[in-house]
Amino acid sequence: MDENIFYGAFGAFFLIIILAITVLIIIAEWKIYEKAGKPGWAVLIPIYNLIVLLEIVGKPLWWIFLFLIPFVNIIFGIWVTNLLSKSFGKDEAFTVGLILLGIIFYPILGFGDAKYVGPAGK
């Protein structure tokens, strides 16, 4: 009986941590969209958030279809992340941070002093 209580408490604690991280990332992305002059609430709507992200990085709408192709979507996801990084005046090292440590780098981009400099930094 005590074992079930322990696992239940551990599961609840883990769920709270995951929810907190999710909320942090959503708020950070909301701020990123607002810095780029787009509506922050767009981050909450599937597909539309990708449309807005493609506008932020300056890529055409038909790129959405590339995200539907297995394995190709990984390459284009990394590419769009790099373009997002450059759109805020950051370099490729920051892109690696966004990909590997997004829990740290997305809040840095959203809450930090990074300014939107235009699609892919133009």
Q: What is the pLDDT of residues 60-112, one digit of tens each?
A: 999 999 999 999 999 999 999 999 999 999 999 999 999 999 999 999 999 99
**DSSP one-letter string for 32-79:** HHHHTTS-GGGGGSTTHHHHHHHHHHT--GGGGGGGGSTTHHHHHHHH
> What's the rounded Cα separation, in Å, for the pair 2 and 35?
50
> So where are the chain's domains?
2-121
Residue 49 has pLDDT above 70, yes or no: yes
Nearest to 33 by CA among 55, 64, 63, 62: 55
Q: What is the pTM of this model?
A: 0.86
User: How large is the average pLDDT for residues 39-60?
Assistant: 94
Residue 120 has pLDDT above 80, yes or no: no
